[in-house]
Amino acid sequence: MTTVEEALKIPQPRYTVTRVDDEHILDEFETFWMEHQKWLEEKGYMLRPRYRPGWVPSWDIDNPASRPYWTEDTTVLGQHPLIMDATRISDNAMVSMKRMNDGLEKEIATYFSTEPLASHPRNHCVPVYEVLRVPDAKGKDDEVIIVMPLLRPFDDPRFKSVGEAVEFFRQIFEGLQFIHQCNVAHRDCTYLNIMMDPRPTFPEMFHPGRISRTRDLQSFAKFHTRTSRPTKYYFIDFGLSTKFKAGQDRKVLANCGGDRTVPEFIWHGVKRNYDPFPIDVYYIGNLVREQFLEDDAAKRPTMDEVVSRFHTIMKSLSYFCLRSRLAERYEDEWFVVPIIRGIAHIYRTAIHVCTFRSPIPRPPP
């Protein structure tokens, strides 16, 4: 039997990123993007100034003696070294780019972006706009870059009402149900791999490296509530996903994603085959912490059952419940915080009611 401690030590594939303290210097992953900037521009995408050939740090020009934290080009790549943000030249839209091999991850990601799946109302897989084949891939002839919309964490900004949270769960439950009905197991549908489309709520967008700030970092990014501007949520990162043929045996060798608490892995170890579909249900259940977390995989509901139960619960929620403020867990520890947020919520709700906005903010199809 594998203990919890051993399960948490299961080695995972990682990219080693050697960061440098001096923002004057690009690391090896940043250098890749700088070397391909001209090619990407020819393809219709513009990188930030930091990643353009001949870049000179702006603080060297404005004030050589300082290195302002809020200078835009001090912002480096995020935690994932293979992902870069860019601007689509044709319409100034912000996009995200991900390097990968021309393999299963690309196949599954593009599978959900082709018709008739792409326009299906329950499809919540991140759309792939374009696949670019990397020239001169230095021994990686099959390396590609997929272009997607720029997203942000699903819970940032936080949910303001019960109805907003209900709509979030509806979308991810139906989205995972759709993925499973297409004979695909995500295998890493955890907290970090569920994102939201920020375009409705952040009309002027934000800086990709510091998402609370404007694109020039000079002020806080302004945003609307989900109730006033309904948005859509997406599953991302199909790097561990598996696509099955109809009638194929649905057991595959364990492959831990971001959640190492799966009971099957802890009790029986990872060097054996499992059905990944109940494990997906466990992962999504960790967002809800409800009955989806059965230790026995056979006792967990399927996503069809989850969606059916959810719709039953959703119909039982009253109008006033859906309009209620969604309080944070530790909010009561600060006496004045719930009072201020409560008053702000009453004001927002009055506006939503007077403008006939639904308490469950569904985005347009």
d(CA 90, CA 219): 26
C-beta pairs of 219-225 under 8 Å, 24+ apart in sequence: 223/157, 223/198, 224/200, 225/160, 225/164, 225/201, 225/348
pLDDT of residue 277: 94
The 10s digit of each residue's pLDDT in 341-358 is 777 878 688 888 888 888
Task: Please check the confidence at residue 202 and state whether its pLDDT lies above 90.
Answer: yes
Share of the chain above pLDDT 90, in %: 51
Confidence (pTM): 0.84
The 10s digit of each residue's pLDDT in 64-85 is 555 556 678 878 776 688 999 9
Domains of the chain listed by start with CATH number: 28-150 (3.30.200.20), 153-354 (1.10.510)
The residues pairing with 149 across neighbouring beta strands, listed in sequence order, are: 95
pLDDT of residue 327: 72
Which range, 188-202, 239-253, 267-281, has the best average confidence (pLDDT)? 188-202
Residue 219: pLDDT band (50, 70, 90) is: very high
pLDDT of residue 69: 65
pLDDT of residue 301: 82
d(CA 206, CA 143): 29
| Token representation of residue 185 | 């197991």
Average pLDDT in the chain? 84
How many Cβ atoms are within 10 Å of 365's Cβ, its own excluded?
Answer: 7
Share of the chain above pLDDT 70, in %: 83
Within the chain, residue ranges assigned H as helices are 4-8, 28-35, 37-42, 58-62, 104-111, 162-181, 263-268, 276-288, 303-316, 319-323, 336-354
The 10s digit of each residue's pLDDT in 284-326 is 988 776 444 456 666 778 899 889 988 898 888 888 788 888 7
Please report, for residues 115, 126, 140, 233, 284, the alpha-carbon distance to residue 193 in angstroms, rounded to integers and kept in the order given. Answer: 23, 10, 26, 10, 11
CA-wise closest residue to 218 among 59, 70, 50: 70
The 10s digit of each residue's pLDDT in 9-64 is 434 444 444 444 556 678 888 899 999 999 999 999 999 999 999 888 877 665 65
pLDDT of residue 137: 66
Which range, 135-149, 236-250, 252-266, has the best average confidence (pLDDT)? 236-250
